[in-house]
Amino acid sequence: MNTGFAITTGSMFATIISVANINWHGMFFAIFALAACAMAVAVVLTDNVVRMAFYLVLSLGATAGLFFLAGAEFVGAMQLMIYVGGTLVLLVFGVMLTAQAPFVSMKTPQRDWVLASILAVCLLAVLVQASVGVDAWRTAAVSVGGGVQREAPEPSATPLGMALLGMRVDNDSSGIVTPSIRSGYLLPFEIVSIHLLVVLVGAAYLARAKRRRTPRAVETAGQSELKEEVRVAS
Amino acid sequence: MADFLIHTGGLPDWIAWAITASLAAFFILNVIAGGALAFIWAERKIAARIQDRLGPTRTGGKFGWLQSLADGIKLLTKEDLMPDGADGLLFRLAPYVSFCASFAAFIALPFAFDFVGQRLNVGVFFVIAVLGLEVFGVILAGYASASKWSLFGAMREAAQVVSYEVPLGMCVVVPVMLAGSMDLVTIGEKQAGWFFQWYLFHDPFTFITFWIYVTCAVASVNRAPFDLAEAESELVAGFHTEYSGLRWSFFFMAEYGSMFLVSALAAILFLGGWNGPVPVASLLGLSDGSGDTTGYFVRLAGCANLMTKATLGVLIMMWVRWTLPRLRIDQVMTTCLKYCTPIAAVMFVGAMLWTLALPGGFFRGLGRPAGEIREGWLLGPGGMSLQVQKNGEAPPSSSRFEQSESPVSQVGL
Amino acid sequence: MNFFNILAEPVGVSHYLLVGAVLFTAGVVCMVIKRNALGVLMGIELVLNGANINFIAFGSPVLRGESTVSIGLDGQLIALFVILLAAAEAAVALAITLNFYNNHATVDVDRAEDLKG
């Protein structure tokens, strides 16, 4: 009887294994998509600003995972390095600098929540209808099997780099594209470089430590005379 | 390996992939955890010898082999404290964030040719990006501990790691430029052969870049002399002051994992990766000499090579830790912004000009007509090969990797 | 009715668009509702990421194939530029917020009413 039991469980297991088919691509997409959406909603719902920052980090990390699954490896790595590893670190620094006790948890009044929920529902309805409404967008053009590992990965960075230098080398076999879409990205690349330099200088200037108009010692000594001078001058 | 399971074992696709992935993850976890155990013991012994004492000598024999195990058991049985004003969720999550960042970077790290978790085309970029995410665990730990010392330590460490990512990235770009690809497997592959084929000896600019990389890597993982985040004599213990027991050990596994990772990365980028100093396999005729060693045992030997180099790197980091005094935060920032970054930039330009003038590197470039090499290099990675390939001609190849590796031909024009 | 069928189909562009929609909406609500200036900033980041997911979905080599919905490499390039510009804008916004904090000793956006009426 024991052997019979073992044989039946073994055969059940074998049939389950042979019949079931977990599409790992779909499963990981589901994991990352749920993580991104859940963390984004958590950012909205939580009051504590430090926790908001942390949930945002998780959400954007899951988004980077989605980018990797969609085959955009360079953009995914860029997202991790620049967005999560740079912009969000900046944001967390800002949070830490201003995380005094009264500002860590600021609650919004109830009526604002009602208005916001109505807005959210309307916007979400419109966007979801647009997403699932177009039939051409629903089917996956390339059927992705259980594993997407190739022997040597396609160079996903080289076409991007060449495009940024102004030369498009990606192979578009559909033949439907118009010439304007196939333009290089050299000019935007240069503009963004200058833009980042300007932003660097501007942000550093905006956030500089400002000197006081009068040093403290002089102020305490001659406070009344100073006030008179200021009144006369203005 | 998944192919082996599918074709030989007759298992359906999804189970084969699951088993392969689990085995790879298990292997990497063992590397980190076992490595941490070994490195903690090594650290205590090295520290002891440098300080003219003996270190652990009782647990498990004369050399204290089992000291790490005893430490682990002690940590497991410690009381699990949490400070009163601490943010519970963030306090508990912080060590795991750090550990996950360190562990995830191993996905793209090859241990031998094609012994890699996932062969990413942007391997180097991914590893550097994920290493930078470790700072979140530190910040969260510092904040959630509700203690001044922790917060100071965390903020200093975050500023340090983020600042040093800039020269680290610039140093890493030099071997990427020399290899023509961000794929770590390709970078290691191109250094196959004798030890002077390694990028370390490619040109003097890369040589100096290696030392700048070492400095930036040590700063990135917060090891001495850049370890003021954990400055034991100043801030009690920095951001992990309030952590005890298993949570603390997660931080330390993350740290030793990161140390091993940056050493392994240095080995692959500059020191030839899994290629030994003498190309034994090609000399013995075990492979066809093209570096594309598919023999299993050759790859295992390569794996051992890489682990040796990475371990040497970690041991050197420990040696430096107990020899040099700690830097102040302003000295750390000065080193980064005033020394490392300009030097890395100049080295990058220098390496680029050197490759234009003498493409094969110092040892490969001599003894060949410069015209042939220059033509081959220019026609290889993009540029004029668009026209050449349209005419049906093949571009002349200066190195044996030109044909298979030329990215334009792979794109399919 | 069409909506629930989407969960049974293999992963396509629409699934990515749904995720992008959720992120976008969450970001907009965040911008509207949060009193903390940094919370508003986080809403902006979420909005930009929702848009990025859309761009990547349309430009993805895995999801597109030879269909007419693909915009090829342009999707990834535009997403790249969005990431860069978002970083720049976050830096400036943070500098402004810190200035505001230094001058008013609060990050509550409801207190920013010096120019009101």
**Whole-number Å distance between alpha carbons of B293 and B112:** 9
Residues in chain A with CB shorter than 8 Å from the CB of B129 are 77-78, 80-81, 85
Does A162 contact B at CB distance below 8 Å?
A: yes
For residue A160, being part of any structural domain is answered with no
Cross-chain CB nearest to B121 (options A18, A147, A157)? A157
Residue B411 has pLDDT above 80, yes or no: no
> Taking a contact as any Cβ pair under 8 Å apart, which residues of chain A between 51 and 90 contact chain C?
52-53, 56, 59-60, 63, 66-67, 69-72, 74-75, 78-79, 82-83, 86-88, 90
- For residues A96 and A195, membership in a common domain is answered with no
Residue B361 has pLDDT above 60, yes or no: no
Domain span including residue A210: 190-234
Chain B positions in Cβ-Cβ contact with residue A146 (cut-off 8 Å): 13-14, 16-17
pLDDT at C40 over 60: yes
Mean per-residue pLDDT over chain B, rounded: 76
User: At which of A84, A106, A128 does a domain end?
Assistant: A106
From chain B, the residues in CB contact with A96 under 8 A are 139, 143, 151, 155
Q: Do A158 and B165 touch (CB under 8 A)?
A: no
> Does C2 map to a domain?
no
Residue B338 has pLDDT above 80, yes or no: yes
Give the total number of structural domains in chain A.
Answer: 2
Tokens for B86?
């601490």
Q: Do B119 and A153 touch (CB under 8 A)?
A: yes
Count of domains observed in chain C: 1
Q: How many helices (H) and strands (E) does chain C have?
A: 5, 0
The DSSP H or E segment spanning C25 is helix C13-33
Residue A179 resides in a domain = no
Interface of A with B in 38-67 (CB under 8 A): 48, 50-51, 54, 57, 61
Q: Quick: pLDDT tens for B72-93.
A: 888 888 877 777 777 788 888 8
Rounded CA gap, B214 and B266, in Å? 8
Here the CATH number for the domain that contains residue A17 is: 1.20.120.1200
**Are chains C and B in touch, 3+ Cβ pairs below 8 Å?**
no
B130 or A153, which is more confident: B130
Angle, helices B341-357/B148-179, rounded to nearest 10 degrees: 10
Structure letter (DSSP) for residue A132: H
Interface subset of A 176-205, CB within 8 angstroms of C: 176-177, 181, 185, 188, 192, 195-196, 199-200, 202-203
Q: What is the mean pLDDT of residues B110-132?
A: 85
Question: Residue B385: is its pLDDT beyond 80?
Answer: no
- Predicted pLDDT at B207: 92
Burial B64-90 (b: 16+ CB within 10 A, else e): bebbbeebbeebeeeeeebeeebbeeb
pLDDT at C117 > cutoff 70: yes
Distance CA A53, CA A76 (A): 20
* Domain end point (choices A106, A135, A166): A106
Residue A77 in domain: yes
CATH number of the domain bearing residue C29: 1.10.287.3510
B11: contact with A, CB 8 A cutoff: yes
- Count of beta carbons in the 10 Å neighbourhood of residue B323: 10
Q: Packing angle between helix C73-104 and helix A157-164, nearest 10 degrees?
A: 70
pLDDT of C22 strictly over 70: yes
- ipTM (interface pTM): 0.90
- For residue C50, the enclosing domain spans 11-106
Please report, as a single letter, which amino acid is at residue C68: T
Residue C45 located in a structural domain: yes
Specify if A79 maps to a domain.
yes
β-bridge partners, B206: none
Q: Is the pLDDT of residue B292 over 50?
A: no
| pLDDT tens for each residue of A146-193 | 444 444 456 677 778 877 877 776 655 444 444 445 677 889 999 999
Tokens representing A205 are 């200037």
Kindly state whether residue A154 falls inside one of the protein's structural domains: no
Distance from CA of A157 to the nearest CA of C (A): 11
Q: pTM value? A: 0.82
Is the per-residue pLDDT at A76 higher than 90? Answer: yes
Taking only residues 209 to 228 of chain B, the set having a beta carbon closer than 8 angstroms to any beta carbon of chain A reads none
Q: What is the pLDDT of residues B214-251, one digit of tens each?
A: 999 999 888 878 877 766 555 566 666 677 778 888 88
Higher pLDDT pick, B37 / A65: A65
Please give the pLDDT value at position C43: 95
| Chain A touched by C22 (CB under 8 Å) | yes
